[in-house]
Amino acid sequence: MAENKQYRCVNCGKPHSALFKTYGPSVLKLTKCDKCKGIVDKYIEYDPVIVMIDIVLISKEAQWHVLYNTEFKSYWKLFIILVMVETYGLWRRDSLFNIAVDSFCGMQNGSNNNTFFNTVVPEIFKNKCWAWEQQSRSSNNDLFIMEKDFYVQFISTFSGIVMFILTFHGLMKLTKPASSRYDVSLLRVIKGFSLANMSVLFTLPMLVWGNADTSQETKTIHYLLVFGYSFMVFFNVFTVVYGRGGARALAASAALRFLASFHVTPALRTYIL
């Protein structure tokens, strides 16, 4: 039998060549893992809804199943849809990123004698605030301008994600232990990213039902909770993908991601769009 070990055991990650064996038209037997003695992938018998629920509950087994043992190919569609959701939040000035930028840039307008802002924050950050101001759109209700703004935010979000994936992949490659047999392809990382990025969908309730009456505090708490959850999902998915945790690499990449977005939007508004 040709050994093509493309599948993984969802319990221990050991590569396997088959998930089940068929004994006739209606009899099949799930493969057992010789390393951990468990069933290689119990999820192939489960309903997709159950798999989805386990994904939401951050089950590593379900993540192994989706990333390695399924025929799921629509990662690109998922990727683009999730970028659109994130863009929508940015475009409405309704996201954790906007709250952070607003409070950061608010220090500038708050008072001239704000010594922290004037001395600690470098000029390169301070003069980017104009692009993120709330008024920059509300004074102009032109549909074309609003549509253009959506493209700007889309490119900005997308650049942030590219920055995030490349930084994280680079850091994980740099810190890879010599003994590690995991050789992770960028494609696998992008798949993992798309899967983990589904946590963005939890911002939707606020984007859909939140309105002018929703207090800033409620929004901040909601988005902070989603961010914390998101961080855990990313940490777990990337642990599955790389075979080891990378909390510091993840935090560094996330920071760089938001820095990239923070700078791309003003650049686009100035030079191109």
**Interface with Zn ion (CB under 5 A):** 9, 11-12, 14, 33, 35-36
Beta strands in the chain (DSSP E): 7-8, 15-16, 20-22, 28-30
Nearer to Zn ion, 10 or 264 (CB): 10
Q: Establish how many alpha carbons lie within 13 A of residue 111's alpha carbon, considering only the half-sphere containing its beta carbon.
A: 4
Least separation in angstroms between residue 14's CB and Zn ion is 5
Structure tokens at 34: 């010789």
Least separation in angstroms between residue 221's CB and Zn ion is 40
Give 3-state DSSP helix, strand, coil % of the chain, rounded to 5.
65, 5, 30
Least separation in angstroms between residue 27's CB and Zn ion is 23
In three-state secondary structure terms, 135 is helix
Least separation in angstroms between residue 58's CB and Zn ion is 20
Nearer to Zn ion, 46 or 104 (CB): 46
Nearer to Zn ion, 11 or 230 (CB): 11
Nearer to Zn ion, 42 or 126 (CB): 42
Least separation in angstroms between residue 38's CB and Zn ion is 5
Nearer to Zn ion, 33 or 249 (CB): 33
Least separation in angstroms between residue 76's CB and Zn ion is 30
CB 130 within 8 A of CB 136: yes
| Rounded-to-integer distance, Cα 203 and Cα 88, Å | 11
DSSP one-letter string for 158-175: HHHHHHHHHHHHHHHHHT
Nearer to Zn ion, 14 or 60 (CB): 14
Q: Classify residue 107 as exposed, middle or buried by CB count within 10 Å of its CB (0-12, 13-18, 19+).
A: middle
Given its phi and psi angles, is residue 57 left (phi above 0), alpha (psi -120 to 50 degrees) or beta? alpha
Taking each helix axis from N to C end, the angle separating 75-91 and 143-174, rounded to the nearest 10 degrees, works out to 120
Q: Establish how many alpha carbons lie within 13 A of residue 200's alpha carbon, considering only the half-sphere containing its beta carbon.
A: 23
- The total of other beta-carbon atoms located within 10 Å of residue 71's CB is 4
Nearer to Zn ion, 14 or 126 (CB): 14
Nearer to Zn ion, 39 or 105 (CB): 39
